[in-house]
Amino acid sequence: MKKIQMVDLQSQYYKIKSEVDNAVLNVMDSAAFINGPEVKSFQADLESYLDVKHVIPCANGTDALQIALMALDLQEGDEVITADFTFAATVEVIHLLKLKSVLVDVDYDTFTIDTEAIKKAITPRTKAIIPVHIFGQCGNMEEILRIAKEHNLYVIEDNAQAIGSDFIFSDGTEKKSGTMGTIGTTSFFPSKNLGCYGDGGAIFTSDDELAHRLRGIVNHGMYERYYHDEVGVNSRLDSIQAAVLRKKLPNLDSYNEARRKAADYYDGAFAGNENILTPKRAEYSTHVFHQYTLRITNGKRNELQQYLTEKEIPAMIYYPVALRKQKAYYQESDPSDFVNTDKLLDQVISLPMHTELDEEQLKYITDSVLEFFEK
């Protein structure tokens, strides 16, 4: 059996090696390393895939979030609501810009931001909501957009983990994740569903004025060459990464399908086990399984992880600590407002999930998990 990895980037690369190698070598030959034609072409390819008017490439997914917030003209102390259960980048950029993060609970079954908790957290200083489409499926965007409209709030979708998933509105219309809010952001970190071979990110919007603003901010606040109208940043996707991404984007749907097949296998194997809750698939979103995350309800999550490690099966705890309890973002809180997050911190375990898992590996992983509970 091939060694099991949390993410197997190498096997995926070997399947497209000659194509990607050629594309990268062409960039080397052209010497157009920064803002070359590959960047423009990838931008256009992604706009068309997402059906969004503007894609603004940038250096990584954290920058994408920061730049999105910078474009909204928020004032020091303005409040931004986001989930307590997410990767730190989402809340980090809020603090970096001297805004106030208001962390709220998530839904126990889908891990995405709890819309009732959003409503409870709104104050006169609330300016934006950042739903995180965590582990590969959308938060309840229809309800989030409704709340945002009612209270005149911006919505920034953190789509680093769910690119390619579709949100299904109650009238049946579908939209790609990241294209429904005021702004959407993503990351092309190698292990993300659409990963490059280094760092990369992008910002999406269908608002022409915002797009203009975002393009200025990523480029030193420069709207006309050497005229700096505001303090911006330097955040670029380089041409080599864009060339890699142009070769990978056409495979994104089949990559996500491969992840879903692995998830189906896991779901089937664990169905009915009294100690395991499999991840719920929301009726309003397709799932692209950035992670396949179980909840272990008998209190033996850490022992399971240890057992799997002994069997050479990597398994990760995403995420072990609530952001509201991190030193950097500490927020006073009443535990009764964070019942789901606090349960999840003790129960979640993510199994190997990538595009190259074969049946032999999946059988070994699921057999091993089930074996643990029979001991």
Ligand X SMILES: *Cc1c(COP(=O)(O)O)cnc(C)c1O
Which residues contribute to the site for ligand X (CB under 6 A)? 60-62, 86-87, 89-90, 132, 158, 160-161, 187, 189, 199, 201
Smallest distance from ligand X to CB 67, Å: 12
For ligand X, the closer CB: 90 or 341: 90
* φ and ψ at residue 222, rounded to 5 degrees: -105, 120
**CA 49 – CA 159 distance, rounded (Å):** 15
For ligand X, the closer CB: 197 or 364: 197
Torsion, Cα of 296, 301, 307, 310 (10° steps): 120
Smallest distance from ligand X to CB 314, Å: 18
Quick one: which H or E segment has residue 127?
Answer: strand 126-130
**CA 81 – CA 67 distance, rounded (Å):** 17
Contact (Cβ atoms closer than 8 angstroms) between residue 148 and residue 129: yes
Contact (Cβ atoms closer than 8 angstroms) between residue 49 and residue 163: no
3-class secondary-structure state, position 40: helix
- 299 secondary structure, DSSP code: S
Contact (Cβ atoms closer than 8 angstroms) between residue 17 and residue 169: no
For ligand X, the closer CB: 87 or 372: 87
Q: Which of 355, 371, 369 is nearest to 313 (CA)?
A: 369
For ligand X, the closer CB: 161 or 361: 161
Query: Please, what sign has the CA dihedral across residues 219, 222, 227, 231?
Result: negative
Smallest distance from ligand X to CB 367, Å: 30
Q: Which of 369, 358, 354 is nearest to 2 (CA)?
A: 358
Smallest distance from ligand X to CB 188, Å: 7
Smallest distance from ligand X to CB 232, Å: 18
Smallest distance from ligand X to CB 94, Å: 12
For ligand X, the closer CB: 81 or 369: 81
| Residue type, position 274, single letter | E
For ligand X, the closer CB: 132 or 276: 132
For ligand X, the closer CB: 160 or 345: 160
Left if phi > 0, otherwise alpha if psi is -120 to 50, otherwise beta: which for 220? left
**CA 231 – CA 199 distance, rounded (Å):** 23
Angstrom CA distances, 138 to 39, 87, 154, 162, stand at: 27, 15, 17, 7
Smallest distance from ligand X to CB 189, Å: 4
For ligand X, the closer CB: 189 or 223: 189
For ligand X, the closer CB: 90 or 239: 90
